């Protein structure tokens, strides 16, 4: 069974490191990108899902999300934001994100969202037996 591979895009290195450690703990493999330009460059690789920060310098999360939807429409995107006010979640969902989680996010909620979107190695092993 192939491990699920997830791209984490966030300009905050502590958030990237935390999410990457969580993903490894959840049984996923991951790559990271620190900004929108790096993320777009990495999208030529195969990813099962993307965890994307909404507010980033240079290219915003919404711009990256638009590129993902046009180029790789089947990859589910989980948008992250630290801004609970306003229309962030509405904009993200309207632009094609599958869900929007607020920072600080609950680790169990992230796990459940990703399991729902891409499954796990364990669930694939059970399905094949």
Cβ burial of 77 (10 Å; 0-12, 13-18, 19+) is: buried
pLDDT at 84: 80
Give 100-124 pLDDT, tens digit per residue: 999 999 999 999 999 999 986 554 4
pLDDT at 83: 85
What does the alpha-carbon distance between residue 110 and residue 1 come to, in Å, rounded to a whole number? Answer: 22
DSSP assignment of 11-33 equals S-HHHHHHHHHHHHHHT-EEEEE
Beta bridge partners of 29: 5
Report CA dihedral (72, 34, 16, 94) to the nearest 10 degrees.
Answer: -40
Give the chain's domains with CATH numbers.
Answer: 5-117 (3.40.50.2300)
pLDDT at 85: 74
Residue of 75, 27, 68 lying closest to 47 (CA atoms): 75
| Percentage of the chain modeled with pLDDT above 90 | 81
Rounded to two decimals, what is the model's pTM? 0.91
| Average of per-residue pLDDT values in the chain | 91
Q: Which residue positions in the chain have pLDDT lower than 70? A: 1, 120-129
């Amino acid at each position: 069974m192939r491990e699920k591979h997830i791209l984490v895009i966030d300009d905050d290195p502590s958030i990237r490191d935390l999410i990457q450690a969580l993903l490894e703990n959840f049984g996923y493999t991951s790559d990271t990108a620190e900004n929108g330009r790096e993320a777009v460059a990495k999208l030529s690789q195969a990813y099962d899902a993307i965890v994307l920060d909404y507010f980033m310098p240079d290219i915003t999360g919404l711009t990256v999300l638009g590129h993902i939807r046009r180029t790789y429409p089947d990859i589910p995107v989980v948008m992250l934001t630290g801004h609970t006010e306003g229309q962030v979640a509405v904009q993200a969902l309207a632009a094609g994100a599958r869900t929007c989680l607020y920072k600080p996010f609950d680790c169990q909620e992230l796990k459940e969202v990703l399991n729902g979107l891409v499954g796990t190695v364990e669930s694939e092993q059970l399905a094949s037996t």
